[in-house]
């Protein structure tokens, strides 16, 4: 169980870093696709001791799950940016 939690921490860190790497104005779907590919590629290069059973790896590194996590992080960041903009009366 601890190993799964540690892997999830690594996964979330990778996703956050890759979002930053691909960030540029516009092209949301392309940036999302690039970030997913970068995360999946980085995971392939993790040391063997940080990997889990193949079926767990497949589930936790699926394009659908990583894409969903990216959407949640980007959405939270966008809402945070909007809230920081002063309201005009």
Q: What is the pLDDT of residues 46-84, one digit of tens each?
A: 887 777 888 988 999 999 999 999 999 999 988 877 554
pTM here is: 0.80
- Both tokens of residue 23? 């960030």
Q: DSSP letter string over the chain?
A: -HHHHHHHHHHHHHHHHHHHHH--SS-HHHHHHHHHHHHHHHHHTS-GGG---HHHHHHHT-HHHHHHHHHHHHHHHHHHHHHHSPPP-
Q: Write the pLDDT tens digit of every residue in 33-42.
A: 999 999 999 9
Q: How far apart are CA 14 and CA 1, in angstroms?
A: 20
Quickly count: other Cβ atoms within 10 Å of residue 8's Cβ: 13
Split at pLDDT 50, 70, 90, the class of 13 is: very high
């Amino acid at each position: 169980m601890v190993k799964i939690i540690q892997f999830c921490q690594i996964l979330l860190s990778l996703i956050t870093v890759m979002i930053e790497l691909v960030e540029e104005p516009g092209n949301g779907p392309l940036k999302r696709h690039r970030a997913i590919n970068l995360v999946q590629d980085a995971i392939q290069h993790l040391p063997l001791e940080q990997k889990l059973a193949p079926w767990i790896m497949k589930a936790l590194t699926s394009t659908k799950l990583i894409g969903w996590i990216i959407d949640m992080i980007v959405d939270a960041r966008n809402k945070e940016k909007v809230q920081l903009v002063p309201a005009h009366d």
